[in-house]
Amino acid sequence: MSLLANLFRSSIGRKFLMAATGLILVGFVAGHLVGNLQIFAHPDKINGYAHFLQSLGPVLWLVRLGLLACVGLHVWAALTLALENTAARGPEAYGVNRWLNAALASRYMKHTGIVVLVFIIYHLAHFTLGAAQAGSFKTALPEYVMTGGFHLLGFPVVAQGQVVHDVYSMVFLGFAHPVVSLCYIVAIALLTLHLLHGVDSMFQTFGLRNQRWATGLRRVVLLFSLAYFLGNLAIPGAMLTGLARPAPGTTAALKLAAAAVSTSAVQR
């Protein structure tokens, strides 16, 4: 049996496949968060960053397809392993005590995984396509004129005066709805719970977790998961509480101001 066939047919191979795709996806969500945190800087930052990614063209689509393939393989491996474990246990193989002793994160891996998958689909519709915004805040890919350009690693990649998609305003308008923001916070909490057990299991699958390193690795995973949750929480949290407001003159600032005037008029 070839190495490739082993990856798909054997339990060990599928565990390795799930760990490898999980590692790629963990790297993506960490990088995605770093990019999103630019929302707290000048609009040029996140808009220039987003335009740079869009300008990659076919390369960006290859990355997207690769990530989608990783998600598909990760879900498939997880489902097949779960079905195998269920079949191997039988109806009375493990008692209630074993379930109670399981870590909370591992106990709900399947449930959090389903929620995370739904969250990814909604997130793409919400910000990538601009199709899930509603009411007076609906703005599908508004335009923004770069005021100072955008530099990446010291190199100019988006020129001053260039018209780009206003991702900055899309984020502010997207999180202007308290219900949407709260749903994002819950989804991120469940994703963090998924990462907490998934990254720890990944180290075990790769043979990196032993008696000497186990405690230290768990602490690293815990700190990473906590930082990931707090970083994502900061974005909708700052907008819900009013700690972060859109820059004057942006589409988000104009629409939110108009909505505030309209609400005030109705209340009178």
- Per DSSP, the residues of 37-49 read GGGGS-HHHHHHH
Would you place residue 77 in the very low, low, confident or very high pLDDT band (cuts 50, 70, 90)?
confident
Residue 1 lies inside a defined structural domain of this protein: no
pLDDT digits (tens, 9 = 90+) for 40-58: 999 999 999 999 998 998 9
pLDDT digits (tens, 9 = 90+) for 104-127: 445 555 565 666 666 666 666 655
Per-residue pLDDT, 266: 60
> Average pLDDT in the 232-257 region?
91
Q: How many domains does the chain have?
A: 1
Residue 131 lies inside a defined structural domain of this protein: yes
Domain that holds residue 209: 8-267
Strand partners, 163: 145
Would you place residue 239 in the very low, low, confident or very high pLDDT band (cuts 50, 70, 90)?
very high
Residue 76 lies inside a defined structural domain of this protein: yes
Per-residue pLDDT, 201: 84
Asked which of 48-57, 79-88, 221-230, 251-260 is least confident by mean pLDDT, the reply is 79-88
Residue 3 lies inside a defined structural domain of this protein: no
Residue 15 lies inside a defined structural domain of this protein: yes
pLDDT digits (tens, 9 = 90+) for 162-187: 999 898 998 898 888 888 889 889 88
Per-residue pLDDT, 115: 65
Would you place residue 228 in the very low, low, confident or very high pLDDT band (cuts 50, 70, 90)?
very high
pLDDT digits (tens, 9 = 90+) for 184-199: 898 898 889 888 888 8
Q: Is the pTM of this model over 0.85?
A: no
Residue 2 lies inside a defined structural domain of this protein: no
Q: What is the CATH number of the domain that holds 182?
A: 1.20.1300.10
pLDDT digits (tens, 9 = 90+) for 123-159: 666 555 555 554 444 545 678 999 998 998 888 999 9
Per-residue pLDDT, 227: 96
Residues in contact with 252: Cβ distance below 8 Å, sequence separation at least 6, in sequence order: 166, 168, 169, 170, 171, 172, 173, 176, 246
Residues in contact with 225: Cβ distance below 8 Å, sequence separation at least 6, in sequence order: 192, 195, 196, 199
Residue 101 lies inside a defined structural domain of this protein: yes
Residue 229 lies inside a defined structural domain of this protein: yes
Which pair of structure tokens corresponds to residue 199? 């990254």
